[in-house]
Structure 1
Amino acid sequence: MNDSIVIGAGAAGLSAGLTLARARRDTLIIDAGAQSNLAATGIGGLLGHDRRPPAEYYAAGRAELAAYPSIEIRHGEAVSVTRGEDDVFTVALADGRHERARTLILATGMEYRHPRLPGLGERWGTSVFHCPFCHGWEMRDRPMGVLATSAVGVHGALNLRAWTRTITLLTNGAELTGAQRDLLSAGGVAWDPRPIAALDGPGTSLETVTFHDGDPLPVTALLVKAVLYQRSPLATGLGVTLTPPDEMLSVEAITVDPMCRTAIPGLFAAGDAATSVPPSMAAAVASGYLAGASAAVRIAAGY
């Protein structure tokens, strides 16, 4: 029997594991790999690790945890979780094994769903990105585009003025209201409603956005509104509450309190998957610490 099981070994899961390791709690971390930010060339805004490649960061985190005897990191996939009448969680793994723990931390991350446009997927995390605070510095002073509609697009385009003054809001066929056009004009932001055909450029670089009609637009960086959904069905299988995606953040997240506790005793959630965390590495590390500390306190109290 483990004191805790952490599902997910991204920034939040490894941070939770470190906190539990230092509390001398027997903890199994299950790592299916394929963290959502591995496509990025570097981490933006994580103090001490700014612009470090994500894969290098995760390898360093696993190496740190290896020094603690109470921690095991196992590559595998959790396919289901149940909570028994004794309040113990049982995790079924894809290899047929079952592991039990007094507490469970879901750090399973999110699936980023972006518009299906030719040329977008292969540039995701490089010249096409979701978070300006994570990638804006590297793309500064270039001609940028924003692919979004309605108030989200207007807000995103105006926000980009901190990084560049050449900005075009691309609505991909959707129209803006007169008030929205007035806001963009006042902020010095252009807009183009034409339906997009493709993103073009060498390799993962972006040079132009082409349309189904008319001339292409020079754009070397593109901010895209993506909707974040749970990568794993484990949370819904346990009956946790999910918040519906809202207009601005567009996140389908597990509802937690400020200490990363769900409404199910002994179940915690951290990282992008939880409501308390905006999608960033820095926030994920902090929430992983809180989830790990909360789990350790529950274990110490005899749960």
Structure 2
Amino acid sequence: MSEDKATLWDCIVIGGGAAGLSAALTLGRGRRTTLLIDAARQSNLVTTGIGGLLGHDRRSPAEYYAAGQRELAAYPAVETRRAEVIDGAGNDDETFTVTCGDGRRERARSLILATGMDYRHPPVPGLADRWGDSVFHCPFCHGWEVADRPMAVLAQGAVGVHGALNLRAWSDRVTLVTNGGELTAQQRERLAAGGVAWDERPIAALDGPGTELRTVVFADGDELAVGALLVKTTLLQRSSLAKDLGASLIEPDEMLSVEAIRVDAMCRTDVPGLYAAGDAATTVPPSVAAAVASGHLAGASAVVSLATA
């Protein structure tokens, strides 16, 4: 559909992951005309299963998203479109216009950003090949599948200590590897008291067959036998839309390292009519379960605002 000034959506949802689908479902049930635009680049598509999502535990992400799309098809107010939104702007009449990569433009009374995050991990050779399998960023999402293997945590400082101590719930053989970062005496004491080993040597690579992790290879040639690796990861906005539309961002901190869109308890940004949900607006460790909840809140918030405007 080319830009049609007669078409004014109640809401456009950008992103068809767990948060976007949840928001669109809530809007559809609220009988609000909704356009869901999805570029199909969900970060968890590389994983074999979603961990910890009630009713869908260990289901493949692709199957989960397909089921969500089928559910949306039952609501005539909701239309879905495969495209990438490359630009967004607010209009003088308090509506929004978004532009897709194919040149199509759409207008709406409200927008929900469920655009996800760009997961940045250390550039260690062999890490990306195992990402989402034996190498992961969330023990609650992946810890069960690798439980009782010897594990390592790749991080530095207080973040690394915290992660290594927490990982003991899934393994009694945990090592903190800092890739050249030095721990303080107090941090070493905490690790020792918790039964966690540590190694501060630089890392050359991760090794193992396929996506399986067998060893951490240090720069001096020594190896540490491990079956899983928890990695400190930085999450940055995948899309520039939040900035383009004037929404505020929360700067990454040392512990969480998430560049989140700032929202209130009902997923409203500081721009009227603009909402954000899912990983893009998370201030807690991201998960599909949390994304579903925030998507519902964003959708409900938009429905109420549209009804009372």
TM-score range, shorter chain: over 0.9
Q: Distance in 2 between matches of 1:172 and 1:203?
A: 23
Aligned equivalent of 2:112: 105
Give the 4+ runs in structure 1 shifted more than 3 A. 275-278
| 2:258 and 2:283 in contact (8 A); partners too | no
Q: Counterpart amino acid of 1:273?
A: A
Q: Counterpart amino acid of 2:235?
A: L
Please, which runs of 5 or more residues in structure 2 have no aligned partner? Answer: 1-7
Provide the secondary structure at the position in 1 that maps to 2:10. Answer: strand
Q: Counterpart amino acid of 1:291?
A: A
Aligned equivalent of 2:168: 161
| 1:12 and 1:107 in contact (8 A); partners too | yes
Q: Counterpart amino acid of 2:302?
A: A
| 2:25 and 2:72 in contact (8 A); partners too | yes
**Structure 1 residue 276: Cα displacement:** 4.8
Q: Counterpart amino acid of 1:215?
A: D
Q: Counterpart amino acid of 2:35?
A: L
Aligned equivalent of 1:134: 141
Q: Distance in 1 between matches of 2:69 and 2:77?
A: 13
**Structure 1 residue 298: Cα displacement:** 1.0
Q: Distance in 1 between matches of 2:212 and 2:275?
A: 39
| 1:257 and 1:276 in contact (8 A); partners too | no
Aligned equivalent of 2:18: 11
Verify: 1:237 aligned to 2:244, yes or no. yes
| 1:243 and 1:254 in contact (8 A); partners too | yes
| 2:124 and 2:206 in contact (8 A); partners too | yes
CA RMSD of superposed structures (Å): 0.8
Provide the secondary structure at the position in 2 that maps to 1:223. Answer: strand
Aligned equivalent of 1:49: 56
Aligned equivalent of 1:22: 29
Provide the secondary structure at the position in 2 that maps to 1:246. Answer: coil
Please, which runs of 5 or more residues in structure 1 have no aligned partner? Answer: none
Identity of aligned residues (%): 71
Aligned equivalent of 1:73: 80
Aligned equivalent of 1:146: 153
**Structure 1 residue 146: Cα displacement:** 0.2
Q: Distance in 2 between matches of 1:22 and 1:109?
A: 24
Q: Distance in 2 between matches of 1:238 and 1:214?
A: 50
Q: Distance in 2 between matches of 1:257 and 1:164?
A: 37
| 1:277 and 1:284 in contact (8 A); partners too | no
Verify: 1:180 aligned to 2:187, yes or no. yes
Q: Deviations over 1:179-223 (max 9, x none)?
A: 000000000000011110100000000000111114211011000
Aligned equivalent of 2:292: 285
Give TM-score, length-normalised by structure 1.
0.99
